Chain A
């Protein structure tokens, strides 16, 4: 057995209520879902001695996604594969693309959507797709539940608008209206099992006069957290997708992103390729 395990313990909750009580009692307790982020941290010795809250032991939490008339609901135990292979859920095309781009099948079978969002990596595949659908998080604690838009959830690098006494109870993804074009591209060093150097998720709806009625743009790996490209979106709304509009939108993009040099890529590459992706998406979206 690994000697470091003695510093860690597990709590196996019996109910949703108990999950909230445990977190209220000791906010340092760490929710453990699929473990694919936490086990890397554990191995690398970067976690202080702590107790893990085993989400899988709680019988109130489901695994299967649920599709209602208005939204897709992901539970604390819903894995990437639970969406990828579900015929209702995988019709949310950007979610499906995120699934295929998140590592490999043997990780997808373990990794959860809630863990992907809470882990708050700037390159998170799942969070980017969810944000492009304007998903809402239901956060739960002893006081009850409250809702936060995923677009409002990240404050800085791994800084969340969630108290330590709270956890993600549900992720609610509104059903997309017809007539939107969608885009998802993740650029990594190789096709499979590659963390992205940069990624773009987009959705766009054109009006009758071919102007942009509405648009959602989300970028990954180019900012301290998954980034909604607000200024670029605002610029595009109401405009026709001419070459000039596209050029100017790319300038807005460059102002909004703040890529860094790291082990996976450098800032010049990230700037260039993120812009290329935006250009590709907008060009593809132009009426023929």
Chain B
């Protein structure tokens, strides 16, 4: 019978790069991304599933990196905010946030852009834009410019 472990080898594909790391199996994927892989674009707000600052794409779907134990990410394909731009060019959604002023302090922005990107690629996944972004809190913008940014990205799709 298997024994309880406090260290485990986990394989991850993040933004197309493969990693193999030895970690505590309950370490949050959020901390693995930030501390072990030095991908600090993914932010921590609440650490308990409420704010969406840690939103990533987990096997292609938006999920909260503060809720995922790394043992459950073994073999997973992950995209973080760092994986959206290519050849130094911003993605469609990033560009729209830049043009429309959809960001102020910036803490919510990576998570907001990950949710918005998924919604723009999969518009049937939510009833509307507000539902698609409902898990992402912003203390600065009042949301208007964020919604404008997402609409702009839709137009340019």
Q: Indicate whether B99 reaches chain A with its CB closer than 8 angstroms.
A: no
In the bound complex, do residue A52 and residue B26 qualify as a contact, i.e. CB atoms below 8 Å apart? yes
In the complex, which residues of chain A have a beta carbon less than 8 angstroms from the beta carbon of B68?
Answer: 35, 110
Task: Give Cα A18 to B5, complex, Å.
Answer: 16
In the complex, which residues of chain A have a beta carbon less than 8 angstroms from the beta carbon of B92?
Answer: none
Q: Known A2-B31, A8-B26; judge A18-B67 contact (CB<8 A).
A: no
Q: Indicate whether A263 reaches chain B with its CB closer than 8 angstroms.
A: no
Q: Indicate whether A56 reaches chain B with its CB closer than 8 angstroms.
A: yes
In the bound complex, do residue B64 and residue A110 qualify as a contact, i.e. CB atoms below 8 Å apart? yes
Task: Give Cα A96 to B64, complex, Å.
Answer: 22
Kindly count the residue-residue contacts between A and B in the assembled complex, taking CB atoms under 8 Å apart: 125
Contact of B6 among A2, A9, A18, A39 (CB under 8 A): A9
B interface residues, how many (CB within 8 angstroms): 42
> Least Cβ distance of A157 to chain B in Å?
21
Contact of A43 among B48, B64, B127 (CB under 8 A): B48
In the bound complex, do residue A11 and residue B4 qualify as a contact, i.e. CB atoms below 8 Å apart? yes
In the bound complex, do residue B131 and residue A109 qualify as a contact, i.e. CB atoms below 8 Å apart? no
In the bound complex, do residue A103 and residue B3 qualify as a contact, i.e. CB atoms below 8 Å apart? no
Contact of B66 among A13, A39, A85 (CB under 8 A): A39
Residue interface bits B55-91, CB-to-A below 8 A is 1, else 0 = 1001001111011110110100000000000000000
Q: Known A39-B69, A106-B64; judge A9-B4 contact (CB<8 A).
A: yes
In the complex, which residues of chain A have a beta carbon less than 8 angstroms from the beta carbon of B64?
Answer: 106-107, 110
Q: Indicate whether B117 reaches chain A with its CB closer than 8 angstroms.
A: no
Contact of B131 among A11, A85, A192 (CB under 8 A): A192
Interface residues of A (CB under 8 A from B): 1-2, 5-6, 8-14, 18, 21-22, 25, 32, 34-36, 39-40, 42-44, 51-52, 54, 56-57, 81, 85, 100, 103-107, 109-110, 191-193
Interface residues of B (CB under 8 A from A): 1-6, 8, 23-28, 31, 35, 47-50, 52, 55, 58, 61-64, 66-69, 71-72, 74, 115, 125-127, 130-132, 134-135
